[in-house]
Structure 1
Amino acid sequence: MARITMRYVVFVLILVIISLTAYISFNNSFKTRPSKLSQKLNGTKSIEKTAARENLTPSFNIRGKAVSLRSTTVSPLNVTLKQKSLLPVSAYPPKVLRHNVTQWKTLLHPSYARTSTVLTRTATLWQNENNVCNLDTGDFVKATLRSPAGNTPIYVYSTAVDQWVSGNIINQGIWERGGVQLMYHFMKTHVDADFVDLGANLGVYGLTFAKMGRRVVLIDPLLDNVKRLCKSVREGQFPNEVYVIHNAISNKRFKVGFGKYKGNVGGTFVKEVTSADAVVTSTDTEVAQAVLLDDLLEIFNFTKVIMKIDVETHETRALLGGDRFFSTVDVTVMQLEWNAHKKDGSEIIKFLTKHNMKPHNPSVNGAALDINAFDKWPGDILWKKV
C-alpha cells in the first residue's frame, strides 16, 4: 500500500513539473513575440541598415508595390484613408500651383512648334498654313538684306510692281535704315525680348532680328507678302523660332479686303468687307481674316516683347484688340507710325497711357513727347514702358 501511494505521489509531481515547464515556456514566448506592426518596422529598419551598407535606396511594399523610402514621386492617391502609410510626410511631392508653371518652353505652342512656318487664324481656330510657302509664281525677286545683324536672303517684288520698299532693298540692301538701326539697338539692349511685327510687309525688321538669333513673329494679311516672307525665313535658316502669321489685326474678327496703290505694295491698306461689297464676289480681289492681337496669346508664350506697328491707318483698331496682350505681356518698346493720327490720336494715347507707356522721339535717347501736342509729333514715334 505504501509502495502504491509513493508511486502516485511521484506521478503527480511529474505532471506538475511538466505543467509548470509548459506554462513558463508559453509565457516567455508571448512576452517576447513581436507584433505584426513591429515586424514591419523592424524589417524596414533592417532593410535600411542593409541598404546603407550596400549604398542602395531602401524600399518596401505597399499593396504589393515596391516603394522607395527616398522617393519624391509617390502620390498620396495610392494610400487610402483607412491605411496609414509608412512613408514620411516629406516623401510626398509639394503641390505645384498653376501660375508657377510656364505654359510651354517654346515661343509657339508645342503642337505647332518645329512644324509650322506660317499660321493663320479663322474666326474660331488656329491652323497651319505652310502650303503657301510653295506658291512661288515665278515673280519672286531674290535680293540680299544688308542688315546691322548681317546679310540674309530676302524675297521681294520687281521694281515695276513695288518701286519703294522692294526698289530700295534691291538697290541699297535695306529699307528704313534709321528705323531698323534704332530697333536693333533696343533688341541688343533687351536681350530677353522677342520681336513682334504688325504689318511686316517684306520683313526687313523681323529678318534683321532673326539674324541676331532672336525669336520673331511677322504678321501680315497680304498673301503675296506672306509667300515671300516664308521663303525668306526658310532660306535664312535662322537659329531660333521665326513665324509668319497670315492675318490682319483689328479690334474684332471680320473679313477684310485691300486698298492698293499701283507701284507701291507697301502702301496697301485693309478695309472691312460686307456681304454687299462687290469685293466679296470678285475673283481678282483678295480677302483675309482679321483677328485680335489678344488671339496671339492662344498659341504664343510671350513674356517680354519689342514691337513695330505699321498697318497703314489701322493702328488704332489693332491696338484696341490687344488689351489683354498689353496687360499680360511686357511690351517694353514699340515703334508706331503716326502720320495717320496727327488729326486725332486720342484713342491711341488713352490706350497706351493706360498700359504705362509714354511717347518719345524716335532716337536712342529721344525726349518724351507732349501728349497734348500730338499733331506735331514726327511720322514715326517710340512708345516706351515707364
Structure 2
Amino acid sequence: MRQRHSTVLFISVSFNIGLLCYIYFGTRTTINKDDGLRMVASSLGIKNTQPELSPQKFLNGLRSVTSSPTQATHEAIIYQKTPLSTLPLDKFHLEMNSASAKSHHQKQFVYNWNGQAWKKNNTVCSNLPTFRQGTLRTLSGETTIFVHEPGVDKYISHNILVSGSWEREVAVAVVSFLKKDKDLQFVDIGANIGVIALEAAKLGRRVIAVEPLVDNIQRLCSSFRVGHFSKDYAIVFNAISDKHEQVALGRDLDNVGGTFVLNNNPNKRNGSDVNLVGQYSELVHTILLNDLLSLLSSDPLTKVVIKLDVEGYEDHVLNGADEFFRQVDVQTVVMEWTYSKNPGTAESIQSFMSKHSMYPYDFNHLPLELTPRAKWPPNVAWIKQSRNP
C-alpha cells in the first residue's frame, strides 16, 4: 500500500514539473522584477499602489525628482531574451499587427537622406536580430521597448530594465506640453532608442523620430512595430547639422546613450563626464532641420513640440532650422542644456530662440533669463510667447 502511494505521488510530481516546463519553454514569457512582484501581489489579493507622476502636477509646479543611475543595481534585474520576428517589415505587419490593422491604417516608414535626395529605407529594419526587451512605463501605460545590453549602455538601457524609465522628468514635461493642445505633433531629435518618442506615440500623437546610429534605429523600428500605436510615425536615419556632409559618430565608454557627432563638437568632446573611446565605423549623412519640410511635404507638420538632445550639437541643429521655425508652429522645445553652457554656444542658441519668440524656462515654469546661462538646469524648456514676459 505504501509503495503504491509513493508511485502515485511520484507520477503527480513528475506531471506537474513537466507541465511547468511546457509552459515555460512554450511561451517564453519575459518576467522582470516588477512583473514578478505584481504577479505575487495579485495572487495575495494586493492591488498595485505605485503612484504615477501626473502631468497636471507638473503644470502646477511639481519639482521633478530623478534617481542617479548608480542607484540602480544589477542584482535587481531579472529578465530573459524574447525573440523578435525576423520577418521583413511588410510581412511582419501582416502577421503580427493584423488585429490593429483592421481598426486603423498606420504609415510607418524609415527615411534617410543619402547626400542627394530623400529615400525610403527598406533594408535597415528588415531581418532584424533578437534584441533585449524591456518595458517602458509611460504616463499613458506600459509599452515594449527594445534596449541594449546593460554592459554597453550603462545608463539608459540599464535603468529601463531596472525601473522601466529614464529621464522621467523630461517625459513628464513633454507629455504636459503635448496635452495643452490635441493637435500638437512631436519631433524627437536625437531619439536614441525611443524613450521619449514612444512616450508621445503611446499618448496617441504623430511622431517624427530622428536618430543617426543604426543600432538605435533598428531598436526603434522593433519597438514601434510591436507598440500598436494609433497614429503615424516616421523614423529619419540621419544626423542633423547646419550643412550637408558625412560625419563620424563618437563612442562614449559603456554609454550608447552618449553617442555624439564627432566632427566640430568641442562642447561634447570637452565634457568632464565623457570617456571618448574612438568612433563607430560607418559615417552618416547629415540633414538640416529645414529638410524635414520637403520630406513631409505631402503631409506637413503644422504645430509641434520638439525634444532636442544631440549631445553638444544643439547649436548646429538650430543654425539649419530657420525655415522650419518659420513654416511650422513650434510651441515648445525641450532641450538638453548640459553641453550648451559654453558662452559662444549658449549665446547663439538664445539669439536664435529669441528671434522666433521663444524664451527659456525650467520645468517648474520659472523664467531663466535672469539666471546666468551656466547655472541653468540640465534641461530647459523654450516656450513660444508673443512677448518676453
TM-score (norm: length of structure 1)? 0.66
- Displacement of 1:116 in angstroms is 4.6
Contact 2:251–2:279 at 8 Å: present in 1 too? no
Aligned to 1:67: none
Aligned 1:197-212 pairs, distance under 5 A: 197-212=188-203
Contact 1:155–1:232 at 8 Å: present in 2 too? yes
Distance in 2, matches of 1:250 and 1:129, equals 20
Contact 1:255–1:272 at 8 Å: present in 2 too? no
Aligned to 1:117: 109
Distance in 2, matches of 1:376 and 1:205, equals 25
Which residue among 213, 216, 224 is the counterpart of 1:222?
213
- 1:136 alignment partner AA: L
Contact 2:144–2:226 at 8 Å: present in 1 too? yes
Alignment RMSD: 1.8
Contact 1:251–1:318 at 8 Å: present in 2 too? yes
- Displacement of 1:306 in angstroms is 0.2
Distance in 2, matches of 1:170 and 1:234, equals 20
Distance in 1, matches of 2:107 and 2:117, equals 17
Between the two proteins, what is the percent identity of the paired residues?
Answer: 39
How many residue pairs end up in the alignment? 263
Contact 1:251–1:321 at 8 Å: present in 2 too? yes
Please give the per-residue CA displacement for 1:96-130, whole angstroms capped at 9, x wherever unaligned: xxxxxxxxxxxxxxxxx966521111222111113
Aligned to 2:60: none
Contact 2:289–2:321 at 8 Å: present in 1 too? yes
- Displacement of 1:134 in angstroms is 2.1
Structure 2 residues not aligned, in runs of 5+? 1-104, 265-277
- Displacement of 1:232 in angstroms is 0.6
- 1:214 alignment partner AA: R
Q: Does 1:362 align with 2:363?
A: yes
Distance in 2, matches of 1:142 and 1:368, equals 39
Change in CA separation of 1:289 and 1:352 when aligned onto 2, cut-off 3 Å: same
Most deviating of 337-346 and 218-227 = 337-346
- 2:283 alignment partner AA: V
Distance in 2, matches of 1:235 and 1:219, equals 19
Structure 1 residues not aligned, in runs of 5+? 1-112, 274-281
Which residue among 130, 134, 137 is the counterpart of 2:129?
137
Please give the per-residue CA displacement for 1:152-201, whole angstroms capped at 9, x wherever unaligned: 11110011111110001111111111110121111111211100000000
Please give the per-residue CA displacement for 1:42-81, whole angstroms capped at 9, x wherever unaligned: xxxxxxxxxxxxxxxxxxxxxxxxxxxxxxxxxxxxxxxx
- Structure with greater contact order relative to length (CA < 8 Å, sep ≥ 6): 2
Aligned to 1:292: 288
Please give the per-residue CA displacement for 1:337-382, whole angstroms capped at 9, x wherever unaligned: 111122220000111100110001123xx11112672111111100
Distance in 1, matches of 2:119 and 2:370, equals 40
Distance in 2, matches of 1:247 and 1:169, equals 25
- 1:319 alignment partner AA: L
Distance in 1, matches of 2:363 and 2:107, equals 37
Change in CA separation of 1:316 and 1:371 when aligned onto 2, cut-off 3 Å: farther
Contact 1:123–1:253 at 8 Å: present in 2 too? yes
